[in-house]
Structure 1
């Protein structure tokens, strides 16, 4: 046995990550959970989730995440082996009553495990312990995550050390991500080539601090993907762009999917979109809670009035004036300019989009 079995894990959650970039997913999850630590491919550990209150609240922080599938109340942890999983489940305290179902997953097919065999074996353990099985409408779902292989390696994420792992994490499903993103860019009223995927936009605004009651700024909004996701999680959104057509298009998309804004429905998040210069924002100091923006990609974008380096440096300086936190996405590394503008670099991620584009993501805190 490679891993010392653990049972009775009170106050611990397993995070079932989405996508292929675990370090990035774990870093996003840290906005909705405490003590996030990468355990194995596709699985992280957390000390608490939801920021307090009812973890099942639909508007809870975990439900807003882009790259976390679900959070599970931990029961036990052992090697990625069915017999080992059955043994720790049999020994674990189970503070539940009612009907149950078992749902097993072989994360990215990394473990030498049959999920159907795992469900039968673990279901048998639960039946032996007095539970009734209801596969259609159970009171509780036991999630069994089998995963093996190398963890991601990233210096800004606890547990992302590149080491080998073999893990079965057993837990009761506590909360699942809503995955209520905007439609893909090509299905929106206003679209331009090169628009960001909605899951990515959601992750970036989450990292910038988007949440109900907070205000997020995008000073280079383009087609509005970032403010759109900010509005969908309940944030008030402020956006501007140098091009009038982008301003009109962003307003159209926000009206369609967020509602409210500019004197609209009072029950929807507020939003404001205007034509403006990211290097000279018409906002007071500390006007917003966070900034997220996708910087122009040089040759592929129209840049009004500025050279690219001047535009990015000026936008970073203005962002540091109006907010304590920012997430910048670009086609190159702008760390030097970020530090010169008054930011401390909290984390850097390189995310491959396709052969000719890797996005550089800077997570920034005001120095």
Structure 2
């Protein structure tokens, strides 16, 4: 697995992949991980995984060692091939051009034809620090995924979350149940999390205390999810208008800042009450906030599986709580 993002994102990326598309994800070098039981059809919906390949072998991070591993490997395919080499984050002392040329020569000697434009198979050769992983490409992230922006939506408000992050939080929350999951955002704002939920195949449910946000989210979901099932209502996150176990997962971005009252609630009461309601309607949750709410989550009946601190800009750090019902 070729992980996306910066070095600080790797544990986060590995957990997203494990919850939504694979099992036993293990990082082996910067930007690289191995896994078992990959759900290939879910890989294009991941945010922080670029490519997944069927492992051919592992070598030292030199062209000669990579070529030796490929020469000795058992190859169960024929046809045309292209070799794509990467020096992940420029951490290895290696020439990717030399690697593509030499490993391409190995494959030609073994009966393959080279086709750089439309090959039957693509061999990915990834160098990172002192490790090289070789594998046949089997799936990749949607190439157009990163081209969308919150400002493209019919309804936009400053501070809207980037689609890449929203997608990752949806996968962390609902991944084990996808694509047949129902995901609820009780503070849906402009609907960024719900858009990503719908795009990965989940049924999206949203509520917000402000009619303005309900109307805006409805407009955005109609534009991005014209054929999907979704519902948005006006509601208080501490008294959700949904039945027990109405969703598989809850994900929400709590208000930031030190406001004394938000939608008639003190901030602590709002977040704490929302966590209690989330535990009533679902068995998994991801809470994103500008501070730790671990104690409130535990008081609401959640087990904090993981918590990540992700810097956004300046002094803003997002605290990502991955919760499972105790």
Structure 2 residue 173 is the aligned partner of structure 1 residue 214: no
1:11 counterpart residue number: none
Question: Counterparts in 2 of 1:63-74, with a 5 A limit?
Answer: 63-74=44-55
* Cα separation, 1, equivalents of 2:266 and 2:144: 37
The secondary structure found in structure 1 opposite 2:160 is coil
1:153 counterpart residue number: none
How high is the TM-score relative to the length of structure 1?
0.85
How high is the TM-score relative to the length of structure 2?
0.96
What is the CA distance between 1:180 and its match in structure 2? Answer: 5.1
What is the CA distance between 1:179 and its match in structure 2? Answer: 4.9
Aligned CA-pair RMSD? 1.3
The secondary structure found in structure 1 opposite 2:310 is strand
Structure 2 residue 68 is the aligned partner of structure 1 residue 87: yes
2:10 counterpart residue number: 22
- For structure 2, which runs of at least 5 residues remain unmatched after alignment? none
* Cα separation, 1, equivalents of 2:167 and 2:188: 14
Question: Counterparts in 2 of 1:272-287, with a 5 A limit?
Answer: 272-287=231-246
Structure 2 residue 115 is the aligned partner of structure 1 residue 130: no
The secondary structure found in structure 2 opposite 1:49 is coil
What is the CA distance between 1:127 and its match in structure 2? Answer: 1.0
1:34 counterpart residue number: 23
* Cα separation, 2, equivalents of 1:295 and 1:324: 19
* Cα separation, 2, equivalents of 1:319 and 1:167: 43
Match of 1:144 among 121, 125, 143: 125
What is the CA distance between 1:213 and its match in structure 2? Answer: 2.1
Structure 2 residue 255 is the aligned partner of structure 1 residue 296: yes
Question: Counterparts in 2 of 1:211-250, with a 5 A limit?
Answer: 211-250=178-217
Structure 2 residue 165 is the aligned partner of structure 1 residue 192: no
1:62 counterpart residue number: 43
1:344 counterpart residue number: 303
Query: Quick check: 301-310 or 26-35, which moved more?
Result: 301-310
* Cα separation, 2, equivalents of 1:91 and 1:171: 14
* Cα separation, 2, equivalents of 1:121 and 1:22: 30
Query: Quick check: 290-299 or 319-328, which moved more?
Result: 290-299
1:162 counterpart residue number: none
1:96 counterpart residue number: 77
Matched residues, number: 320
